[in-house]
Amino acid sequence: MFHSFVFCVLSFWCVVVFCKGMKTVSVMEGDSVTLQTNVTEIQKEDLLMWKFGAEKSLIAEINAEARRFNTYDVPDGRFRDRLQLDHQTGSLTITNIRTEHAGHYEVIISGKTVTEYRFSVMVYGTAHVNPVLISTVATGSLLTIAVVWIFCICKRLRKTAEEVQSCEEQVTYADPTYCNQNSPKTRVKEEGEVVYGGVTISSSLSH
């Protein structure tokens, strides 16, 4: 009897359960979201199950040894044609997500060890905006306005400095011209070409 008890205790401690903390995921309505298992590849002996809600409804399953990869809908049909299961990593993608898909998700990977991941999915509709997103956008807008304002001030100061420097360097020089009224005016006479012709005078004496 004692040996059976020891065997049960040892068997219990051979199953190590790693339970990760709750991870919050925010997504806008109409987008897709992927819940990661942080597993590079599902092992041959692994059994993976995705569950949703307080009822822990089974919505996806991988039996690696049996080569079985399935997704399931819940009774109200909210997950119809919206679930995609990665056969290699076991990650679950919810496409065209709606507010009705918000809630708690968990995945249990059973193999040599048992690992459990939990997710809290928050879906924001078009009439609701994520307050974290608002804060981020507001901070970014204020920073942008401050940068633009500083740039304009610097540009204006630089322009003013350039105008002052230009006024200091700009000097107008005038050459004085003196006119002496008593100074003789020089006239330039151009001689053209002069042609001289010979003249013959004949005298006739009448007797």
- Per residue in 182-195, pLDDT (tens digit) is 545 444 444 444 45
- Per residue in 34-86, pLDDT (tens digit) is 999 999 999 999 999 999 999 999 999 999 999 999 999 999 999 999 999 99
Domain extent, residue 65, equals: 15-125
Unique residue bearing structure tokens 């048992």: 114
| 28/121 same-domain check | yes
**Which residues, at least 6 apart from 165, have a Cβ–Cβ distance to it below 8 Å?**
none
Is the CB of residue 121 less than 8 Å from the CB of residue 33? yes
The C-alpha atoms of residue 29 and residue 167 are separated, in whole angstroms, by: 62
Q: What angle do CA 117, 121, 126 make, to 5 degrees?
A: 165
Whether 133 is in a domain gets the answer yes
Percent of the chain with pLDDT over 90: 48
As for how many domains the chain has, the answer is 2
Last residue of a domain, one of 110, 139, 156: 156
Q: How many residues in the chain? A: 207
Whether 83 is in a domain gets the answer yes
pLDDT at 15 over 70: no
Q: Can you give the pTM of this predicted structure?
A: 0.55
- Residue 80 belongs to a domain with what CATH number? 2.60.40.10
